[in-house]
Amino acid sequence: MRNHARETLACEFVVAVTATFGLVYVFLVREIGTRRMLHWHATEHPTAEWTVPHFRSVLTGDDPYRFLVHDRDAVFSAAVDDALRSMPLRVLKSLARVPHANAFCERLIGTARRECLDDLIPLHARHLRKIQAGWVRTSRQSGSPARESRSWDSGAVKSDRVTGGRSPTAVRPSSRGESHARRSPSRVSA
């Protein structure tokens, strides 16, 4: 997979629960080589007919992508696979009855849940799109999520406006005198 990482996309549907206990499905497409999120969109009723145009918006024809990894969800029907092959992509399906086999997207999903959906409960699909847009914009400005394993216990906690709501942020000065911000694991509100 490492040899073809820059040519491979991974996609997944994520389920988010709204304040009224409705289900909203978020469609994610991620480039494996750079770990960038290329596309996302939320809907309350995902279908194969809804999914294909979203693939077309990602795959413009000038891209070097040759492979697409997806699970065996019913939304990824034979019609979706045929449309993907015509783009032309080779479809790689994850193992049957292994819901977390698509580790490329599962890591992104976990980050989105921790940084976005753990603190905010969407009211409906449109509200979820607004929350996600703010989170994507913020994460693209700051780069990829930090992979550091430093202790942030000694940092001051401040509240920062992110994704349309209050989001706790821990700030700790580094040895060089600059400040590094990272989300606090505790739920602190201002």
Q: Which tokens belong to 163?
A: 């994704």
Cα 117 to Cα 111: distance, rounded to the nearest angstrom: 9
Q: With bands split at pLDDT 50, 70 and 90, how would you rate the model's confidence at 21?
A: very high
Residue 3's pLDDT band (boundaries 50, 70, 90)? low
pLDDT greater than 60 at residue 118:
yes
- Residue bearing the bigger pLDDT, 102 or 72: 72
pLDDT per position as a tens digit, 120-171: 889 988 999 998 888 888 766 555 443 332 333 444 444 455 544 444 554 4
The whole-number pLDDT of residue 143 equals 53
Give the pLDDT mean for 13-26. 91
Query: What tokens appear for 12 in the block?
Result: 């997944």
Q: Residues 6 or more apart from 8 whose CB is under 8 A from it?
A: 1, 31, 32, 33, 65, 66, 67, 68, 69, 92
Query: Does the pLDDT value for residue 22 go beyond 70?
Result: yes
Please check whether residue 12 is in contact with residue 106, taking contact to mean a CB–CB distance below 8 angstroms. yes
pTM (predicted TM-score): 0.68
100 pLDDT above the threshold of 80:
no
